[in-house]
A and B are shown apart, each in its own frame.
Chain A
């Protein structure tokens, strides 16, 4: 029998580790389930301990039971905090991905970093997100799109670096096809270099097609 709180601790360790990772490690379905089960069992214990007293429990008369109840009570709440912390860390990470422009419809790209390509190709089960997290990812994407839509002239997800130059030198890392700018069309082929307006290519830099030089 594991010590109460042990599993919760594992969740927190997972969460802590996740904070420093670039990708999202697989969702700990089993662990979450086990911690939740522990909470239910503790709650059952509390109920059965209190049952004989019929609601007239006097802590000072039976201190041993009172202590057990207190420990159970605190353990349940601690487990809850662990679960909340674990899930919040992951949703924070998901939100970050949404802000950085990961396509909500293209979750495959998200998994590619976490598992190898062969596993990602199977889709579905190898996802590092729980089904609930996939829902959350989509819904947050919609929410952000709605908020962004009210600031169309600003491009809310644009660069947070203060703009210095209107035009910048970029090198093309991956073929990105032809883009339209107000100075005409540019064909972005790999390894070529351009002097372009930063606002026109910000998106492509964020997505890794272009590299800013200088």
Chain B
């Protein structure tokens, strides 16, 4: 089991959600976060005063998947999230030690 964590442009969220549905993902968690990478922020201008805003809004998506689904899900996010411009984001894959569904007590792949 793996946890796939993707940091993406906020406006891409709907496309990514649809792409994940298509490859069979049934649940995900989403958070609005701020951060910077190579894009290193953006410039904003108020009454002629330029401000470098280092932290820009990003969306973090978390999806737990079985080992067999990892490549398909990562590919789906990659395709849906890409614009080709700087700031498209990152995808990280982490191992999961255990998952537990609270309502039923199921554990492991059953609980995904």
Do chains A and B stick together as partners? no
